[in-house]
Amino acid sequence: MKIIKNTVLAVVFLSTLHGISQEILTKKEALKITLENNFGIKIANNNLEVAKNNTSMYNTGFLPTASLSSGANYRNDNQTVNRQDGTSTSVSGAVTKSYNASVNVNYILFDGLGRKYNYQQLKETYNLTELQAKETIENTYLQLFTTYFEIARLSENKSNLNEALSISKQRLQRAKYQYEYGQSTRLALLNAEVDVNNDSITLINANQQLSNVKRGLNIILGVEKEVDYVVETAVDFIEMMNFEELQQKTTANNSILKQNEKNIAISEFNIKINKANYLPSLGLNTSYGWNKSENPATSFLAGSTSNGLNAGLNLTWNLFDGGSTKTRVANSKIAVENQQILLEQQRVTIENNLKNTWGNYQNQLFILKAQERNVFTTQNNFDRTKERYKLGQVTSIEFRQAQINFINSKTAFNNAKFDAKLIELQLLQLSGDILNVKF
């Protein structure tokens, strides 16, 4: 008996050490790891870098172009020259050599303001990419904490299941003693064994589900972690503003609405860019060149060398292009109109989502308070039933029902708590405030 007692104590001690040694993944640490390693955020940052490169002066057409060209030609042929006086000269293997080199510079002085509008459009595109990156981070925030709080919820529920299993094991031990001393039937003992088995199976399934969700969190974190870590289970609710203020923040800061506003601005620049084709373009070209030639005996000149500067202006005005510019301008205006319609549609949809989410949040907070009262009531009921069970005043079935009611109420309260927190995060995302939350 002493050996068994020591073994039990050793198991309890090792389990305690294991619990102490478990790594705690805090919300703040999880967020830091995600921002550094999440795959979607990395891609969004790369896209932002591309958009930044596109707004560089090197991509606007405002700078001149310069080129260097050179060449050499060699010609070897047989030539016969017939003169006016009737004489002629024939040369076999007449060699002609020529060399050239030049530096060329071209610059568009005026292109109908197309470059200007294109540059402004590129800047708006960069702003749009920033908003897209912000939306990606917001979605990742929501995904991260949805999974994180799911782990917390399952961890709390697992604790409830551990408590249920502990109660069932105590009842089984009591049923064994009662059966051995003839104070109970074998049926009561078998019922207690079945309940222990059922609670054990439920706990095993909960452990597996918890491990699966932790592996899912690893994907969001962008790292590979062992699933033996624990998370923070405390939930702090943010003091929410009233609905009117929340609605105003959503209209001003919602990422989807802001992106559509940028799409409208980009489409409006398309109209101006296409209209630039109605105006003339003026270009400047200049070059400095060197040329040298070596001629055969049949040529009047034995050779020549020249160098000098050339410069010129060219004006191009497309008076009529068959109506293609007019068509592009008309289609650009329709594209702007479509973007405005889409913005209005999104405003209506997001406002509707905000109202539904706000209603769900208020409802969930009420449910949370009701479930908290249920836990208090079922706790009292279970404690009284437990005392009466020890005195033999209630059956094992009644005790089991009180136990189930107590555990179910704790689980329902736990679920309501985390459901309310997740709805709160959805409200923060809709209002564009989720990135400002301090965890």
Instruction: Say yes or no: 232 and 362 in one domain.
Output: yes
How far is Cα 357 from Cα 420, in angstroms, rounded to an integer? 10
pLDDT, one tens digit per residue, over 72-107 is 998 887 777 777 777 777 777 778 888 999 999 999
Residues in contact with 244: Cβ distance below 8 Å, sequence separation at least 6, in sequence order: none
Q: Is residue 359 part of a domain?
A: yes
Q: Is residue 171 part of a domain?
A: yes
How far is Cα 137 from Cα 125, in angstroms, rounded to an integer? 18
In this predicted structure, the answer to whether residue 359 has a pLDDT above a threshold of 50 is yes
Confidence at 302, pLDDT banded by 50, 70, 90? confident
Residues 400, 402, 403, 404: is their CA dihedral positive or negative? positive
From 84-93, 125-134, 302-311, 361-370, the region with the lowest mean pLDDT: 84-93
Q: Is residue 395 part of a domain?
A: yes
| CB neighbour class for 73 (10 Å; exposed up to 12, middle 13-18, buried from 19) | exposed
pLDDT of 274: 94
How far is Cα 40 from Cα 264, in angstroms, rounded to an integer? 26
Amino acid identity for residue 52 in this structure: K
How far is Cα 156 from Cα 418, in angstroms, rounded to an integer? 10
Average pLDDT value for residue range 379-407: 90
What residues make up the domain containing 399?
A: 21-63+113-280+323-436
The number of beta carbons lying within 10 Å of the beta carbon of residue 149 is 21
How far is Cα 122 from Cα 197, in angstroms, rounded to an integer? 66
Predicted model pTM: 0.83
Instruction: Say yes or no: 91 and 196 in one domain.
Output: no
**Last residue of some domain: 316, 333, 366?**
316
Q: Is residue 412 part of a domain?
A: yes
Average pLDDT value for residue range 386-400: 87
First to last CA, the chain: 50
Instruction: Say yes or no: 125 and 149 in one domain.
Output: yes
Instruction: Say yes or no: 187 and 95 in one domain.
Output: no
In this predicted structure, the answer to whether residue 31 has a pLDDT above a threshold of 90 is yes
Instruction: Say yes or no: 275 and 371 in one domain.
Output: yes
Instruction: Say yes or no: 198 and 94 in one domain.
Output: no
In this predicted structure, the answer to whether residue 22 has a pLDDT above a threshold of 90 is no
pLDDT of 283: 93
In this predicted structure, the answer to whether residue 21 has a pLDDT above a threshold of 80 is no
Average pLDDT value for residue range 349-360: 96
In this predicted structure, the answer to whether residue 40 has a pLDDT above a threshold of 70 is yes
Average pLDDT value for residue range 54-80: 88
Instruction: Say yes or no: 188 and 101 in one domain.
Output: no
Beta bridge partners of 70: 101
In this predicted structure, the answer to whether residue 397 has a pLDDT above a threshold of 80 is yes
In this predicted structure, the answer to whether residue 297 has a pLDDT above a threshold of 80 is no
How far is Cα 313 from Cα 240, in angstroms, rounded to an integer? 66
Half-sphere exposure of 317 (CA within 13 A, CB side): 4
How far is Cα 416 from Cα 79, in angstroms, rounded to an integer? 103
Residue by residue, DSSP assigns 225-276 as --TT-EE--------PPPHHHHHHHHHHH-HHHHHHHHHHHHHHHHHHHHHG
The average confidence (pLDDT) of the chain is 88
| CB neighbour class for 147 (10 Å; exposed up to 12, middle 13-18, buried from 19) | buried
Q: Is residue 244 part of a domain?
A: yes
Instruction: Say yes or no: 155 and 295 in one domain.
Output: no
Instruction: Say yes or no: 140 and 244 in one domain.
Output: yes
pLDDT of 300: 66
How far is Cα 439 from Cα 436, in angstroms, rounded to an integer? 9
Reading the block at residue 128, the tokens are 């749009």
pLDDT of 303: 77
H or E stretch at 189: helix 186-221
Instruction: Say yes or no: 232 and 369 in one domain.
Output: yes
Alpha-carbon distances, residue 180 vs 177, 194, 383, 417 (angstroms): 5, 18, 26, 44
In this predicted model, which residue has the larger pLDDT, 51 or 82? 51
Amino acid identity for residue 49 in this structure: E
CA 364 centroid distance within chain: 28
Confidence at 188, pLDDT banded by 50, 70, 90? confident
Q: Is residue 16 part of a domain?
A: no
Domain count, the chain: 2
pLDDT of 345: 97
Q: At what angle do helices 114-180 and 255-275 cross, to 10 degrees?
A: 160
In this predicted structure, the answer to whether residue 425 has a pLDDT above a threshold of 80 is yes
Q: Is residue 344 part of a domain?
A: yes
Instruction: Say yes or no: 221 and 300 in one domain.
Output: no
Average pLDDT value for residue range 138-153: 96
pLDDT of 419: 95
Confidence at 18, pLDDT banded by 50, 70, 90? very low
CATH number assigned to the domain comprising residue 53 = 1.20.1600.10
Instruction: Say yes or no: 230 and 298 in one domain.
Output: no
Q: Is residue 398 part of a domain?
A: yes
Alpha-carbon distances, residue 83 vs 76, 90, 92 (angstroms): 22, 11, 18
Q: What percent of the chain has pLDDT over 70?
A: 94
pLDDT of 299: 67
In this predicted structure, the answer to whether residue 337 has a pLDDT above a threshold of 90 is yes
